[in-house]
Amino acid sequence: MADILSTGVSGLLAFQQALDVTSNNIANAATPGYSVENIELTPAPGQDTAGGYVGSGVEVEGITRSYNELLAAQVRSSESSYSSYNTLATQAGQIDDMLSDSNTGLTATLTNFIDALQTLSTSPSSTASRQALLSQAQALVQQINSYSSQISTYGSQLEQQIGSDVTEVNSLASNIATLNTQIAGDLAGGQTPNELEDQRDNLINELSQYVTVNTSTESDGSMDVYIGSGQALVTGGTAQQLTTIPNQYNPSEYDIGVTSAGGTTDVTSEISGGDLGGLLAARTQVLDPAQNALGLISVGLASIMNQQQASGMDLTGSQGQAMFSVGPVQVEPSSNNTGSATVSASISDLSSLTADDYELSYQGGAWQLEDVTSGQSVPLTGSGTAASPFQAAGLSIIVSGNPASGDSYLIQPTEAAPAGLALLLTNPNQIAAASLAQTAASSTNTGSGTISAASITDPADWQPDTYTISFTSATQYQVTNSEGDVVVPPTTYTSGQPISFDGAQVTVSGAPAAGDSFTVASSTSADSGDNSNVLAMISALSANTLAGGTTSLTSAANDLVTQVGVTTQQAQSNATAQQSVNQDATTALSNVSGVNLDAEAAQMLQYQQAYQAMAQVITASGQMFTSLMTAITDG
């Protein structure tokens, strides 16, 4: 039955608890991740009397925390994005700083090498100029070797960080699962585990620094956690464990798997956001492409210079030797292969070569090639034998043995080239600055025709001899060798049109007259001071000979520096933007969940006054009871 005493006691106890909640809020005003608590008061059930229902005091319905899941999700999302972009920017920034130095960067060193060629072209017999060229060539080799080594070092550090991040994610997941079990148990027992829920939220926020996080709250109060593009990490009280698994083609690179009773499933493609996602992005968007692009530059440098060396004559009168060597095409079999096939590959066409990697797989009884970067299928020609290799993307591919269906091989045309780049020439006399052939116009010519220096386009086909280009009329010519054999049959003359024969090429311009002739003769040691071949080297380095004939060696170097710089700047810009978004989201959540000391002080005053008032009610109740007992006793 309602009475003033029980009503007063209920109020006294309720406001005492309200003061406890308020004091706890104030005590945790500076505690990170603490959500302000609110006491929920409700009227106690009224008592039915003849005059109607009479209130019987107040009850504490519960103690809840101020929390907004939508705002919390925005904080986690922006935190994950910021962490990912910041990690990518940091990793890319290392490569950018390495490549872009205006004095010692890749472009500057390549320019110094070309400048040395230019200097040699003005004095092709100068030992000092030749030695300077070798010195610049060695400097370029050492720099590319150093870049390759540094990229490998950055890659190793990145793999270590991936392993560390996976360990942290597993620890956080286990702790979240443990808290889920405790929270579900407390809620089932009628308790309000606000502190445990705050701890769980803090762990999930910390988890978002490593990977994108999404959550779903179950009816028992536990929270399921999904990472990346939807991979379940925590379900109720059970936490999945991530693990690092060696890449099937490169054991030194880690993929990410999820371990369950059924085994380990590769979920690398599902991981995104956070530091872990940023590391994976840095590997695929910066480190691997930079290494491959550096390899393409190395292959281009060696191929162009070696070709031109073979097309020229050195200072001793000998045909030029190869100037550079590079690392070979890498072919890595998958660790999942079950067949016995072997695959080898080599570069067959520089102009068709790219910096992409390729996957050769055996499917449905046939070999298929796919560009790993673009995901596009690449047509194969040939049969894959030594006599008729597969030809694709500038590569010659030979397969042997018995493949099993599903077997695959990663072909990396340029990845190993930078580390294997080396200068082969040791003597400045070995630089082939002169052409293997010399051209001249007959002294009896009557027309205005002129002939260019000879270019040896295919040293393997060049036959040392004396060739004569004879004009049978002003509009027609033929080419014969010293034996009088016709090498090029009568052909219509077009001024400036290249004339090719036996691995050589010249250009006749102007208006030759009938009976005019020009000679192309093998060079002798007396011609070693010629500079035509070194000029051809300079021209070839600036010609569009790479990436399907779309870019030059110097442009490829500039493109590499630019691409890494753009990636770095974009990542930095995105990181700054996401940091701002995260700060705004954190502020919005703090406005809901944070402790407002002014508000808490006002509530404390309110609860204190109410508590004191309830105490007065109890005092009045006691006085009334005493008066009643006195009246009864006196009566």
- At a CB cut-off of 8 Å and minimum separation 6, what does 411 contact? 329, 330, 331, 343, 345, 357, 358, 359, 360, 395, 397
Distance CA(629)–CA(627), nearest Å, equals 6
Tens digits of residue pLDDT in 398-407 = 999 999 999 9
Q: What is the C-alpha separation between 574 and 73, in angstroms, rounded? A: 19
Q: Could you give the dihedral angle defined by the CA atoms of residues 579, 580, 585 and 588, in that order, rounded to the nearest 10 degrees?
A: 140
How much is the pLDDT for 349?
A: 92
Distance (Å, rounded) from C-alpha 358 to C-alpha 370? Answer: 6
CB 282 within 8 A of CB 88: yes
Q: Predicted confidence band at 2 (pLDDT cuts at 50, 70, 90)? A: low
The letter for the amino acid at 529 is: G
Q: Tell me the C-alpha distance between 441 and 437, whole Å.
A: 14
End-to-end Cα, the chain, rounded Å: 26
Can you tell me the distance from the alpha carbon of 175 to that of 279, in angstroms, rounded to the nearest whole number? 24
| Residue in the block written with tokens 């603490």 | 34
State how far the Cα of 124 lies from the Cα of 113, in Å rounded to an integer. 15
Q: What is the pLDDT of residue 51?
A: 67
Other C-beta atoms closer than 10 Å to the C-beta of 419 total: 20
Measure the CA dihedral 175/177/178/183, to 10°. Answer: 120
Question: Among 205, 334, 52, which Cα is nearest to 593's?
Answer: 205
Q: At residue 43, does pLDDT exceed 90? A: no
C-alpha closest to that of 113 among 554, 556, 559 = 554
C-alpha dihedral over 492, 494, 497, 498, to 10 degrees?
40
pLDDT in tens, 567-617: 999 999 999 999 999 999 988 988 888 888 888 889 889 988 888 888 888
Q: What's the mean pLDDT in 159-176?
A: 96
Residue 467, SS3 per DSSP: strand
Gap between the Cα atoms of 618 and 202, Å rounded:
44
- pTM score: 0.85
Condensed to tens digits (0 to 9), the pLDDT of residues 325-384 reads 999 999 999 999 999 999 999 999 998 999 999 999 999 999 999 999 889 999 999 999
Given phi > 0 = left and psi -120 to 50 = alpha, else beta, which region is 189?
A: alpha
Asked if residues 145 and 326 have their Cβ atoms less than 8 Å apart, the reply is: no
pLDDT at 216 over 70: yes
Q: Which two tokens mark 345? A: 């590959």
Domain ranges across the chain: 4-66+595-634, 74-283+552-586, 330-413, 437-522
Phi, psi of 249 (to 5 degrees): -105, -30
The DSSP secondary structure of 515-550, one letter per residue, reads T-EEEEEE--GGGTT--HHHHHHHHHHHS--BTTTT
Q: Which of 463, 91, 503 has the alpha carbon at shortest distance from 277?
A: 91
pLDDT for residue 10: 83
Region 179-208 average pLDDT: 91
| pLDDT value of position 621 | 79
pLDDT reported for residue 1: 40
**Which residues are CB-neighbours of 203 under 8 A, at least 6 positions away?**
172, 175, 176, 179
Confidence of residue 635 (pLDDT cuts 50, 70, 90): low
Q: How much of the chain, in percent, has pLDDT values that exceed 90?
A: 67
From the list 206, 243, 244, 200, the residue with the least C-alpha distance to 222 is 200
Strand partners, 409: 333, 360
Q: Which residue has the higher pLDDT, 298 or 629?
A: 298
- Give the SS3 label for residue 397: strand
Token pair in block for residue 445: 């010519």
- Among 608, 568, 625, CA closest to 23: 608
Instruction: Say whether pLDDT at 628 is over 80.
Output: no
Task: Convert the pLDDT of each residue in 247-304 to its tens digit.
Answer: 999 999 999 999 877 788 889 989 999 999 999 999 999 999 999 999 999 999 999 9
Residue 116 has pLDDT above 60, yes or no: yes
Q: How many helices (H) and strands (E) in the chain? A: 11, 32
Element of type H or E holding 360? strand 358-363
Q: At what angle do helices 69-100 and 553-593 cross, to 10 degrees?
A: 150
What pLDDT is stored for residue 171 in this prediction? 96
Query: Is pLDDT of 445 > 70?
Result: yes
pLDDT of residue 102: 73
Q: What angle do CA 506, 510, 512 make, to 5 degrees?
A: 90
The residues, ordered by sequence, that sit 6+ positions from 201 with a Cβ below 8 Å of its Cβ are: 33, 35, 67, 72
How would residue 440 be classed by pLDDT, with cut points 50, 70 and 90? very high
Let me know: does 458 contact 473? Beta carbons within 8 Å. no
User: What is the pLDDT, as a whole number, of residue 626?
Assistant: 80
At residue 198, the 3 state secondary structure works out as helix
Q: Over the stretch 306-323, which tens digit does the pLDDT of each residue have?
A: 999 999 999 988 899 999
